[in-house]
Structure 1
Amino acid sequence: MGRFDMGWLGTTLRCGLMAAGLACAVIGVASAQEAYPARPIRLLVGFGPGGATDITFRKLGELASKQLGQPIIIENKPGAGATLAPSTMAKTDSPDGYTIAAATAGLLRYPYMQKVDWNPIRDFTWIAGLGGYTFVLAVNADSPFKTVGDLVAYAKANPGGLTIATAGAGTTMHLLAEALAGMAGVEITHVGYRSSSEAGTAVLGGHAMATVDAVGTILPYTEPGKMRMLLSFDPQPVDWLAGVPTAKSLGYDLVYPAPYGLVGPKNMPPEIVGKLYQAFKAAADSDEYRKLLETLRQTAWTRTPGEYEQWAREFYVSERSLVERAKLLRQP
């Protein structure tokens, strides 16, 4: 009987210890979740160093890291219309918040141009909308093209002879160049580079006749008189681009604001998404970042995870029309 009692007691003690261990494990998991982030975070950017997108996300990462208490390490991964970075992340990284990516409009456009093994809505967690670009068409200051009319006239007289450099095939810049050419009824030769800085250098060196890019990338060239802007793709003219017409004002129905933001792999825990959103929102709302927006001539555009995903769903549907106008819609 005594032996039975001791066995029962031993079993009870073991069960109690197991229960306590399980409780500790649960508490440990909860603590680990509360401690996020416990190590550095990788932020993948789909453009090369030196352009407006790279500069923007480096500053956002620097400011958000102060909120999160961990470094945010920028990794440039250009390619596939600026979708290589986020699509690689979606396919290979776990949704633990330690790898995130910059999202630009190309993410919601590239599947219309190329067959891909990822879905721009289902395969991502939409974390935060952070800002928007103004895009412009620019030429070397020594170019004989003083107006868009001059450029179009040359293209009509020399089919395919007009070379336009951008930060890569499939990027917003490429699409805008092709769409503008299509509306003007001319053929161009697109020259894709790995970064905006390379495209700008090509125009300055006479290797390309024009470029389309974010105005923040072009301003460092125009302010010292090395380049000249011929038009913008804004809805209406703005004071700080005095004398630069919009595509719409010249008769081209091409208005293109392009928001950017932050995405992660699908199925990220809501609490991690919330921490990242709050940190990057604080960064985007800071005086330091707003000063950068002013310098780069970008617009503030903050959106919650839910708002950003809803915008992405709607933009994905509407983006097909731009691809069609640029005559780059992939064949089934």
Structure 2
Amino acid sequence: MKLLILGGTEFVGRAITEAALRRGWPVTVFHRGRHAPLPGVEVRHGDRTAPGGLSALAGGEWDAVVDTWSAAPRVVRDAARALAGRAGHYLYVSTRSVYADPVAPGATEEAPLVEGSPDGEQTEYAQDKRGAELAVEAAFAGSALFARAGLILGPHENVGRLPWWLNRIARGGDVLAPGPRDLPLQYIDVRDLATWVLDAASARLGGAYNLVSPSGHATMGSLLDACARVTGSAANLRWLDPGEILAAGIEPWTELPIWLPPGEDHDMMHRADVTKALNTGLRCRPVGETVADTWHWLRSVGEAPLRADRPRPGLTPEAEAKALASRGSRTP
């Protein structure tokens, strides 16, 4: 298939580009030129946020276009309008954040959605992603697919969640491990996401799909154990209960990446129904493989490059030591 990727040089876009090239597909990447594209692609440069920024895409036709944009929905609107009639299929990497709170455990793609405007400027992440979905629907009715991903992990991660855990555990010593140990996680390896997206393009799938692993595919325990194993660390994982962590003033998700305490936020992020994606071929590799490959990549680059528009994740050594010194900390 002849594929156009809007972006294609970082994390999700890069993984999809790599997977398409391995299949022998002709790939065009459209980006601003801030990051080097992969060898073997056709490159078109432009800033889609600027007036006339899509001019480099004025000519050409593609079987499918992949878009991962996560800011102002109007930017997706403009791209979708410009490509309507010249691309057969529009695959938008969206997010499970488009579901309206509270999201019940086991929610499917039919759960209520947040409001969004296809013409909007950047506001809140969930509303922006929903607005982008609406923009794609308007331009590609019947030929639009929404891959509603949740937590995305794997090599080249530019948010820094799994890299933070790997680096922290590699340093050794007493490590604050957020419990419970058997807390189920739900995520997608970026390479499994890429494979499914390209398969969906080939099959011309449409509509929305929750694109994450089954809930409990990994747990906090299996994730952190894998980090200790691949780094060869002698770190001592000291498991704290959610109440102890929250009482210490530690922020879930940001200061302790990936972790959310049991409750509504955890249900939304880690307990979705993914039957629809599984029935269309989604396959999820073991957590140990994701962790090992991310560690191999991390060692090759020294320090993970982080997106400038996202806060740096992780707990300070001072906050960790203070929490571990509090009453109730324990070893497994």
TM-score by length of 1: 0.31
Larger helix percent = 1
Larger Rg: 1
Where relative contact order (Cα < 8 A, 6+ residues apart) is larger, the structure is 1
TM-score by length of 2: 0.31
